[in-house]
Structure 1
Amino acid sequence: MLTRPSTNNNRNTAHMLTQSEQQPDSNKESMTRTEMHAFLDDALLELRQAEQISVTTYWQWSQTVLPHHTFVYMHKFTGKLVANGIESTVTRKAAFICTPGTSLELYSDADHEVELYIIHFDLFRVAEKTKERRIYERELGSPVTGWIQGPYYGIQRIAAQLTMEASQTSLKVQLLLTELLHMLWPQEGQSDAGEQDEPEHWLKSTLQYMRDNYMNEIKLEKLAELAGMHPSYYSQLFKSRMQKNPIEYITHLRMNRAKELLMTSDLRIRDVARQVGYRDEFYFSRRFRNHAGYAPTSYSKQVHRNVVSLSYPYTDHLMTLGITPCAAQIQGHLPHVPKSLTLPFHAYEPWEQGRQAFLDVNPDLILTKDNAAAKAMEHIGDVAPIITIPWNETDIFGHLQNIASVVDRTQVAKEWMDRHERKAERARKKIRETAGQVTVAICTLTAKGPRMYSNRNFGHVFYRSLQLAAPDRIQRELAGKPIGVGFNWMSFSPGEWDGLEADVLLIAVTSMHERAALLQQIAADPLWKSYPAVKNGRVHVIDWNSWVVYAPYSINIQLDEALSMLTNKASFL
């Protein structure tokens, strides 16, 4: 048992706790959102082990008595799971959580690829809490055990991050574990965690109608008719789902669109009013002041610091500018860890994050890439203005300048770019002195085959910061195109090296298992062995998760790594 002062940093010290154990409560019911928050607020989580298993042969694993809470996410698995002697067949993605003391066995079918994550952790609950101290005891029970219905994409993202951070005892590990438990534990009345935010048809159709017609007059009777309900009943039911009545929802849509126009255009107040559904600009101004706290004429001059980032590169940009988002999508290296949001990494992926997470942080504005703008408008268009920064129209420096203009940090952006150029020039000088003029090729391996990158994303540091030469075919593709936006990558087939030769080859991989398999393949494959950099032993394997972030803070870290690789004669092969 640990007695300790009551502070806000207690989640960093779970490893100090001893195990004065509480018996599990077998009668716990599904928790409401409030109860779940309270449960985790009074808990400490300690990651014991997190591992990723990736094999292509028969695989089995068993533990007679699990010493810790254990979560298994089966991303690719066909076989059997046996818990306390009860056998279940697994034929697709699946997730399972169990408490200490459980007997657990996993058996894959032969000749099926296996990719899964096993995460062991301990849970400690507050047994006594005063202003002076808190006493924690180990909790063996769990509000939820057994099969989990999803959301699988979010689960995989967090599981992968935990395996990467497993050796750390950082606050980030605590936050990731907490986020995972929030995702696994269903709320009261939910039958499928993967569908917890999917609205009923009547709600979905009327929300769409409001989003399409907010600039016109919308009557409650029309919405009720679309929903097939009496107006008063529809209004009550709508408020129970959206935390605001239909008229308030429409007003918030209009005001947020007005804020977007005021921040990103030079339109007159009269024109802004008309675009969002107000014919009288003076009436609009009064409503706007009541809603926003500022007159429309002064709104664009306000500094908005309570920002939500729906894009992990833009999270990096904001932090580079000295602004920590109140909530954000997270990937790669960051100086601080904001509240993580479960958001799609690509436009075609499902939206998993619930509205409540955004309502809880009460943002001044929401920042997103253009490919996620439609989904953001659909799910949270009434919560705050959504500022879209186009992704493919400009490069990393354009992104930084555009975001800086929105959050009033233009001078900070200029200072960062000046510092980065000075740092890059020092690196270029050192590489010229130690490695000379070398050509570099950067590729990633995808399910659709290898890709070789140009001067954006993975290639930015090498071709723009360090000004190294790309293979001839890459240079020909870049000719006449805008720098950083005209050409990103090209597919190629191993062995077809004409015009793709380089002195140094860098290959981005997503896991250590993939790295080992890749190096084995390159060593045995005559097509790869014919590549100049491979023949000369100048191949480096880089971490995809660190290098995929095309943003300032990450670029600086990548620059240090690139300098180390190119000035060190040792290679990974």
Structure 2
Amino acid sequence: MKTESATDMMTTQISLKDIRNYIAKHHHQPLTIDHLAFISGLSSSYFGEAFKKEFGQSATDYLTELRIGHAKQLLRDTDLLLRDIASKVGYSDEFYFSRKFKKEVGVSPSSYSKIARRRISTFSVSTTGNLLALGIIPVAAPLNAKWSPYYYNHYQDKIHVPLNIFDAESEDNFRKLASAKPDIHIFQEGPSLSMLHWLESIGVKHVTIKAKDWKTQLTEIADAINKQSACKHFIQTYEQKALQAKLEIKRAVGKDTFAVLRLCGDQLFLYCNKGIQNVLFTDLQLHPIDAQQETCNELITLEQLLDINPNRLLFIICPDTATRNYWLALQYLDSWKELQAIKNGHVYILPSNPWFEYSAIAINRMLDETLLMLTGKNPNPFPVPVHGFLSNTEL
């Protein structure tokens, strides 16, 4: 009986996914389409068509992407000579490597080593806000007209690669991120191992922000991308502005007590997230009701609210139809009309954006909106300007 040789088994069992993994592991070695087609058991022409159909790019383009990505990492993080870098990523001719690198990246390897770390990407809306505070417009970031309207309206023509805001690790996001060619990708939450391995394979450095408060988050990002001066300036400017706003608001509201409420359907919640806590009750030192000394999201009845009877109410109203209908009905209830805040006309509606976001830009916007809401003074032009290096997409 005839037995299969090792070559026969290889040519019949290796899938296109296995071939792609093989390229990833051996991209620094001499590879040809004929060789890849042979180990896949396909003809050279059919292999090329099948690979591109399966992964959206040719095997040659994928190999080049891996090699140039590895080269970017070596240029950014080592002091190796150009000929050594070329050799390590699979090019025997350093001059051919230089031409190839410039064609793919837009600048020569020597120029890239001087400007690396300018192309930043992220899957996080909050990180987008922190990058803008540092004067960096990301090359790729989540944009959505409903869920990130501020960034969508003011930066959609500057953030060249919009990413999916809900499914970060989708194949579509992977392809978009690869096309953006970032130097550094910043995570707000822990990524999967497969995502980290993929970023490493294309030479993208990854940074995961671990801090919980916005100032430390901003500082961590600034340290990663060498923007410490911009970070210090932003925080100092914010603190000075917060001090001035606190004095002006105190003159307007005195010792009035504040309650922040979230209305969802026909239910009321005492609500206070980190951003609200930081801006209203720490930086501006407004007087919260006792139940809102810390962050909370607790159900409360209208009768319980009437017992507390704060001087001023701030409302976040869910945008669905049922909630809006109840909001209209609520205003006709006698117990509602008995609230001190209602009698004095001190009810303020807070939009979900920026009050649900936690970033340096969102905090800055909350401060500005609170000053305008409570005193009628508009402190800043809109949108918040980005200082320094205007766009890291232009290399």
Please indicate the TM-score interval, normalised by the length of the shorter structure.
0.5 to 0.7
Residue of structure 2 aligned with 1:470, choices 261, 277, 288: 288
Q: Give the equivalent residue in structure 1 for 2:350.
A: 542
Shift of 1:492: 1.5
Residue in 1 that maps onto 2:384: none
Match of 1:333 in 2: 150
Q: Is the 8 A contact 2:140 2:163 kept in 1?
A: no
* Cα distance change on mapping 1:514 and 1:312 into 2, 3 Å: farther
CA distance in 1, matches of 2:303, 2:198: 46
Show the 5 A alignment for 1:375-394: 377=196, 382-390=201-209, 393-394=211-212
Q: Deviations over 1:478-524 (max 9, x none)?
A: 4xxxxxxxxx5423243474797643221223659788535413214
For 2:207, the aligned partner's letter is T
Q: Structure 2 residue aligned with 1:426, among 231, 234, 244? A: 244
The match for 1:438 is: 256
> What residue is the counterpart of 1:557 in the other structure?
365
Q: Any residues of structure 2 matched to 1:321-360 within 5 Å, and which? A: 321-330=134-143, 331-334=148-151, 336-337=155-156, 338-339=158-159, 341-346=161-166, 351=170, 353=172, 355-360=174-179
Deviations 1:528-565 (A, max 9, x none): 56765446542211221343332233332322221122
Aligned residue number for residue 133 of structure 2? 320
C-alpha distance 361-465 of structure 1, shift in aligned 2 (>3 A): same
Q: What is the RMSD of the two structures over their aligned residues, measured on CA atoms?
A: 4.9
- Tell me: CA distance 1:448–1:315, structure 2 relative to 1, closer, same or farther (3 Å): farther
Cα deviation per residue 1:420-460 (whole Å; 9 max; x = unaligned)? 11111111001111211233232334579655443513443
Q: For the structure 1 residues 496 and 393, does the alpha-carbon distance in structure 2 shift closer, same or farther, using more than 3 Å as the test?
A: farther
Instruction: Indicate conservation of the 8 Å contact 1:328/1:339, yes or no.
Output: yes
The normalised TM-score by structure 2 is 0.63
Residues matched between the structures, number: 331
Match of 2:299 in 1: 492
Residues 359 and 457 of structure 1: is their aligned pair in 2 closer, same or farther, counting only changes over 3 Å? Answer: same
Any stretches of 5+ residues in structure 2 without a counterpart?
1-14, 377-395
Maintained 8 Å contact 1:495/1:527: yes
The structure with higher relative contact order (CA 8 Å, sep 6+) is 2
Whether the 8 Å contact between 1:506 and 1:542 is mirrored in structure 2 is yes
Instruction: Give the letter aligned to residue 246 of structure 2.
Output: R
The answer to whether the 8 A contact 2:263-2:317 is kept is: yes
Q: What is the percent sequence identity of the aligned residues?
A: 20
Inter-partner Cα distance in structure 2 for 1:320 and 1:495: 40
1:47 is matched with none
Residue 188 (structure 2) aligns with: 369
Letter in 2 for 1:318: L
The counterpart of 1:287, out of the listed 59, 64, 88, is: 88
Q: 1:236 to 1:444 in 2, by over 3 A?
A: same
What amino acid maps onto 1:333 in structure 2? Y
Distance (whole Å) between structure 1 residues aligned to residue 311 and residue 252 of structure 2:
14
Q: Which runs of 5+ in 1 are unaligned?
A: 1-201, 263-268, 274-281, 479-487, 569-573
CA distance in 1, matches of 2:21, 2:311: 55
Higher helix proportion (structure 1 or 2):
2
Larger strand proportion of the pair: 1
| Mean Cα deviation higher: 439-448 or 510-519 | 510-519
TM normalised by structure 1 equals 0.46
